[in-house]
Amino acid sequence: MQPAVEQLISKWWLKAMEILLAASPPALLLWLQDSIAPYLATQSPVVILRVMAVLLLTTTALLAYSLLQRPWLKWDEPTGTWVNRSTGIRYCGTCRAQKVIVPLKNEITGWRCVACGKFRTDPKRKPIDPPQPPPPSGPDAWLGV
Protein backbone atom coordinates (compact mmCIF):
# COMPACT_ATOMS: atom_id res chain seq x y z
CA MET A 1 0.00 0.00 0.00
CA GLN A 2 1.01 3.59 -0.50
CA PRO A 3 2.12 5.58 2.57
CA ALA A 4 -0.71 8.11 2.15
CA VAL A 5 -3.33 5.35 2.12
CA GLU A 6 -1.77 3.70 5.17
CA GLN A 7 -1.76 7.02 7.01
CA LEU A 8 -5.42 7.63 6.13
CA ILE A 9 -6.42 4.14 7.28
CA SER A 10 -4.48 4.48 10.54
CA LYS A 11 -6.07 7.90 11.17
CA TRP A 12 -9.60 6.49 10.70
CA TRP A 13 -8.74 3.44 12.81
CA LEU A 14 -7.54 5.69 15.63
CA LYS A 15 -10.73 7.81 15.46
CA ALA A 16 -12.90 4.68 15.54
CA MET A 17 -11.01 3.37 18.57
CA GLU A 18 -11.40 6.71 20.39
CA ILE A 19 -15.15 6.75 19.79
CA LEU A 20 -15.47 3.11 20.82
CA LEU A 21 -13.48 3.71 24.01
CA ALA A 22 -15.47 6.82 24.90
CA ALA A 23 -18.82 5.16 24.23
CA SER A 24 -18.05 1.83 25.93
CA PRO A 25 -19.08 2.60 29.57
CA PRO A 26 -22.63 3.73 28.71
CA ALA A 27 -22.94 1.04 26.03
CA LEU A 28 -21.95 -1.66 28.51
CA LEU A 29 -24.44 -0.33 31.01
CA LEU A 30 -27.25 -0.41 28.44
CA TRP A 31 -26.24 -3.85 27.19
CA LEU A 32 -26.16 -5.35 30.68
CA GLN A 33 -29.15 -3.45 32.08
CA ASP A 34 -31.34 -6.58 32.46
CA SER A 35 -28.75 -8.35 34.58
CA ILE A 36 -27.77 -5.22 36.56
CA ALA A 37 -31.34 -4.02 37.28
CA PRO A 38 -32.11 -6.54 40.10
CA TYR A 39 -28.81 -5.70 41.80
CA LEU A 40 -29.36 -1.94 41.49
CA ALA A 41 -32.88 -2.26 42.93
CA THR A 42 -31.38 -3.43 46.22
CA GLN A 43 -28.87 -0.57 46.40
CA SER A 44 -29.43 2.79 48.02
CA PRO A 45 -29.98 5.84 45.79
CA VAL A 46 -26.62 7.30 46.91
CA VAL A 47 -24.71 4.30 45.51
CA ILE A 48 -26.61 4.49 42.21
CA LEU A 49 -25.93 8.21 42.00
CA ARG A 50 -22.22 7.62 42.59
CA VAL A 51 -22.07 4.92 39.92
CA MET A 52 -23.81 7.22 37.44
CA ALA A 53 -21.42 10.05 38.31
CA VAL A 54 -18.38 7.79 37.76
CA LEU A 55 -19.74 6.63 34.39
CA LEU A 56 -20.47 10.19 33.33
CA LEU A 57 -17.05 11.39 34.49
CA THR A 58 -15.30 8.51 32.69
CA THR A 59 -17.14 9.14 29.44
CA THR A 60 -16.53 12.90 29.61
CA ALA A 61 -12.85 12.41 30.41
CA LEU A 62 -12.37 10.00 27.50
CA LEU A 63 -14.10 12.36 25.07
CA ALA A 64 -12.10 15.34 26.34
CA TYR A 65 -8.86 13.38 26.02
CA SER A 66 -9.61 12.43 22.42
CA LEU A 67 -10.54 16.04 21.54
CA LEU A 68 -7.45 17.50 23.20
CA GLN A 69 -5.12 15.01 21.50
CA ARG A 70 -6.35 16.06 18.06
CA PRO A 71 -4.13 18.74 16.56
CA TRP A 72 -6.26 21.70 15.50
CA LEU A 73 -3.74 23.04 13.00
CA LYS A 74 -2.54 20.95 10.06
CA TRP A 75 0.62 21.73 8.05
CA ASP A 76 0.01 22.31 4.34
CA GLU A 77 3.28 21.49 2.61
CA PRO A 78 2.66 22.99 -0.87
CA THR A 79 1.72 26.41 0.50
CA GLY A 80 3.89 26.50 3.62
CA THR A 81 0.97 27.45 5.84
CA TRP A 82 -0.90 26.02 8.82
CA VAL A 83 -4.61 25.30 8.24
CA ASN A 84 -7.24 25.17 10.99
CA ARG A 85 -9.08 21.85 10.59
CA SER A 86 -12.46 23.15 11.67
CA THR A 87 -12.58 26.63 10.07
CA GLY A 88 -10.11 26.36 7.17
CA ILE A 89 -8.36 29.61 8.17
CA ARG A 90 -4.68 29.67 7.21
CA TYR A 91 -1.89 30.84 9.49
CA CYS A 92 1.66 32.02 8.77
CA GLY A 93 4.29 29.32 9.17
CA THR A 94 7.07 31.82 9.88
CA CYS A 95 5.16 33.57 12.64
CA ARG A 96 3.95 30.26 14.11
CA ALA A 97 7.56 29.13 14.44
CA GLN A 98 8.06 32.20 16.63
CA LYS A 99 5.02 31.15 18.76
CA VAL A 100 2.76 33.81 17.20
CA ILE A 101 -0.46 32.68 15.51
CA VAL A 102 -1.41 35.19 12.81
CA PRO A 103 -4.22 34.58 10.29
CA LEU A 104 -3.24 35.16 6.67
CA LYS A 105 -4.95 37.69 4.40
CA ASN A 106 -6.42 36.09 1.28
CA GLU A 107 -5.17 37.62 -1.97
CA ILE A 108 -5.62 36.76 -5.64
CA THR A 109 -2.75 34.26 -6.04
CA GLY A 110 -2.09 33.31 -2.42
CA TRP A 111 -1.97 34.59 1.15
CA ARG A 112 -0.07 37.40 2.85
CA CYS A 113 0.84 37.55 6.54
CA VAL A 114 -0.32 40.78 8.14
CA ALA A 115 2.41 40.56 10.82
CA CYS A 116 5.62 39.76 8.90
CA GLY A 117 4.43 40.60 5.37
CA LYS A 118 5.59 37.28 3.87
CA PHE A 119 3.62 36.15 0.82
CA ARG A 120 2.68 32.48 0.35
CA THR A 121 1.65 31.42 -3.14
CA ASP A 122 -1.07 28.86 -3.73
CA PRO A 123 -0.06 26.34 -6.41
CA LYS A 124 -3.74 25.55 -7.08
CA ARG A 125 -4.53 29.11 -8.14
CA LYS A 126 -3.81 30.28 -11.68
CA PRO A 127 -1.16 33.04 -11.83
CA ILE A 128 -2.32 36.34 -13.25
CA ASP A 129 -0.61 37.56 -16.41
CA PRO A 130 0.74 41.13 -16.32
CA PRO A 131 -1.39 43.65 -18.23
CA GLN A 132 -0.53 43.89 -21.91
CA PRO A 133 -0.08 47.27 -23.63
CA PRO A 134 -2.90 48.14 -26.03
CA PRO A 135 -2.29 47.28 -29.68
CA PRO A 136 -1.13 50.15 -31.88
CA SER A 137 -3.84 52.14 -33.58
CA GLY A 138 -3.89 54.82 -36.21
CA PRO A 139 -2.82 55.02 -39.84
CA ASP A 140 0.56 53.30 -39.20
CA ALA A 141 -0.90 50.42 -37.13
CA TRP A 142 -0.24 47.90 -39.86
CA LEU A 143 3.51 48.59 -39.51
CA GLY A 144 3.50 47.44 -35.87
CA VAL A 145 5.38 50.55 -34.74
* pLDDT score for 104: 93
Give the C-alpha separation, 23 to 16, whole Å: 11
Three-state DSSP state, 69: helix
* pLDDT score for 26: 72
Hey, where are the domains in the chain? 3-69, 73-121
Give the C-alpha separation, 37 to 33, whole Å: 6
* pLDDT score for 59: 80
- Angle, CA 56 vertex, CA 51 and CA 60 arms, to 5°: 150
Q: pLDDT below 70 — which residues of the chain?
A: 1-11, 69-70, 130, 141, 143-145
* pLDDT score for 5: 63
* pLDDT score for 9: 67
Which of these, 93, 122, 92, 94, lies nearest to 107 by C-alpha position?
122
Q: pTM of this prediction?
A: 0.47
Contact 4, 38 (CB under 8 A): no
* pLDDT score for 87: 84
* pLDDT score for 112: 93
